[in-house]
Amino acid sequence: MPNLLDDSNWLEFEKNHVWHPYAPLEGALPPYPVKNAQGVHLTLEDGRQLIDGMSSWWSVIHGYNHPVINAAAKAQLDEMSHVMFGGLTHRPAAELAARLITLTPEPLTRVFFCDSGSVSVEVAIKIAIQYWHSKGQPGKQRMLTIRRGYHGDTCGAMAVCDPETGMHHLFAEALPKHLFAEAPTVTKDAEWRDEDIADFRNLVKQNHSEIAAVILEPLVQGAGGMRFYAPEYLRQVRSLCDSYDVLLIADEIATGFGRTGTLFACEQAEIVPDIMCLGKAITGGYMSLAATLTTSEISQAISRNAPKAFMHGPTFMANPLACATANASIDLLLDSPWQERIARMSETFFEHLQPCQDWGGVADVRIKGGIGVLELEQPVDMPSITMRFVDKGVWVRPFGKLVYVMPPYIINDEELNSLLTAMTEAVAEELCI
């Protein structure tokens, strides 16, 4: 079949027929058409180049069109792009599992591959519930989490997102009812206050007989508000989970693979979850893949009790092409000076963003590793500020009151300074400063 759309009409067709995330099909700001991407630059159809400050929703850590990852993907294509994982296996999946087990803390030694971050959260929740069922405690069905969190857009994941300030309140009556503790507010261990954990402690104490697991984003609450909290909170949560016989799920989908300055955010609190969710940067942003890791104790309990299988099986689970790409991305990360790059990025964030704390209309400035956030007092005008960013040669995608950047790790000093200058200028113009 020949191309149904030509250069003169494909964008008009797209505008009328293709839905974009968190946007109306009609009346939305038209999306900017990308012709190609290279390094940290997106080239639009009209020839304009934009420095990408978002890493395509935090996943493209090595930049676009990287020759090492390209070569790995092409080599795998010559072997096989896909084969079902039911009853069959392949080396790229085993290699990826070995890498993940080596990089994550003991005793996370069992790996379940899935399609996306949201699905990895679904898998984690189902593992926790099935584990307790296999242990003769089928009443442990609920999750405990903290407010302001975000864990994905599928139904199970939506149910543990913030039910009031999150993006999924329209579906509240259709979702399971879980428990929500007040979000932590202390950001540094040196400023720790015991009252920060009090609400969480009370909920665990009162409801532990029906709680299967605690699920949270370690240290950084991402799409729920770009909020950071102290490692001590994680230590307290781990201790309470141990005391009250509750599993701990760490959603490292956004924080994994170096974004906060350590490979995984849990390392900064020196705690190990019972279940860990990984996604986003696992393939360097090349394609969708995720993984849920757990312990041999949990996997054995599920495998040795009826139905003697974990009841989940995505069609594209452990896709060979995605696994080969992930192996190349992980090796590329480990062979790079990523810690120095994140540290440099963080220092440059402070230089450019910290002065904005004194601006009228700016509520807070937050920086952690490769994440830089300006929280405004009022929501941004999305069409207006997006146009400002594009006119200044950068791609930044704010939401609500938050203007933030999470650039590819390979961004150089000149590109990073240009990105942050454009970011602060656009915000200043939006605030009429």
Summarised one tens digit per residue, pLDDT across range 178-221 is 999 999 999 999 999 999 999 999 999 999 999 999 999 999 99
Distances (CA, A) of 255 to 103, 162, 213, 225, 262: 14, 19, 20, 14, 9
Q: Token digits for 377? A: 């007092």
Give the least confident one: 19-33, 91-105, 246-260.
Answer: 19-33
pLDDT band at 168; cut points 50, 70, 90: confident
Catalytic one of 6, 22, 78, 335: 22
64 is catalytic: no
Over residues 34-52, the pLDDT tens digits come to 999 999 999 999 999 999 9
pLDDT band at 149; cut points 50, 70, 90: very high
Distances (CA, A) of 69 to 36, 269, 343, 426: 16, 32, 24, 34
Q: Which residues of 313-332 are buried (b: 16+ CB within 10 A; e: fewer)?
A: ebebbbbbbbbbbbbbbbeb
> Can you tell me the mean pLDDT for 49-75?
98
Largest CA distance in the chain: 66
> Can you tell me the mean pLDDT for 349-369?
98
The pLDDT value given to residue 28:
79
Task: Reply yes or no on whether the pLDDT at 374 is more than 90.
Answer: yes
The pLDDT value given to residue 165:
84
Residues 6+ apart with CB under 8 A from 411: 40, 51, 63, 345, 419
CATH number of the structural domain 10-62+337-430: 3.90.1150.10
Given CA atoms 79, 80, 81, 87 in this order, what sign does their dihedral have? negative
User: Range(s) for CATH 3.40.640.10 in the chain?
Assistant: 69-334
Integer Cα distance of 202 and 213 in angstroms: 15
Q: How far is CA 183 from its chain centroid?
A: 18
Higher-confidence residue of 37 and 8: namely: 37
Exposure of 26 by Cβ count < 10 A (0-12 exposed, 13-18 middle, 19+ buried)? exposed
Round the average pLDDT of the chain to a whole number and report it.
97
Q: Are 172 and 162 in contact (CB under 8 A)?
A: no
Integer Cα distance of 305 and 129 in angstroms: 13
| End-to-end CA separation in angstroms for the chain | 54
404 is catalytic: no
Over residues 390-403, the pLDDT tens digits come to 999 999 999 999 99
Exposure of 24 by Cβ count < 10 A (0-12 exposed, 13-18 middle, 19+ buried)? exposed
280 is catalytic: yes
At 244, the amino acid letter reads Y
Integer Cα distance of 256 and 266 in angstroms: 9
pTM attached to this predicted model: 0.98
Q: Are 265 and 218 in contact (CB under 8 A)?
A: yes
Catalytic one of 52, 162, 251, 274: 251
The pLDDT value given to residue 26:
86
126 is catalytic: no
User: Range(s) for CATH 3.90.1150.10 in the chain?
Assistant: 10-62+337-430
Top CATH class of 69-334 equals: alpha beta
Task: Reply yes or no on whether the pLDDT at 426 is more than 90.
Answer: yes
Distances (CA, A) of 284 to 114, 343, 369, 413: 16, 19, 18, 21
Over residues 288-331, the pLDDT tens digits come to 999 999 999 999 999 999 999 999 999 999 999 999 999 999 99
Residues 6+ apart with CB under 8 A from 166: 149, 150, 158, 224
The pLDDT value given to residue 29:
82
Integer Cα distance of 4 and 24 in angstroms: 24
Q: Are 373 and 356 in contact (CB under 8 A)?
A: no
pLDDT band at 169; cut points 50, 70, 90: confident
Integer Cα distance of 91 and 69 in angstroms: 17
Integer Cα distance of 339 and 173 in angstroms: 44
> Can you tell me the mean pLDDT for 326-349?
98
* Stretch (H or E) spanning 400: none
> Can you tell me the mean pLDDT for 23-43?
93
Q: Token digits for 253? A: 């989908």
Catalytic one of 131, 150, 404, 409: 150
Catalytic one of 140, 280, 368, 392: 280
Integer Cα distance of 143 and 200 in angstroms: 12
Please, how many CA atoms are within 13 Å of residue 40, restricted to the half-sphere of its CB? 24
| Alpha-carbon torsion angle 383, 385, 387, 390, nearest 10 | -140
Q: Are 280 and 291 in contact (CB under 8 A)?
A: no
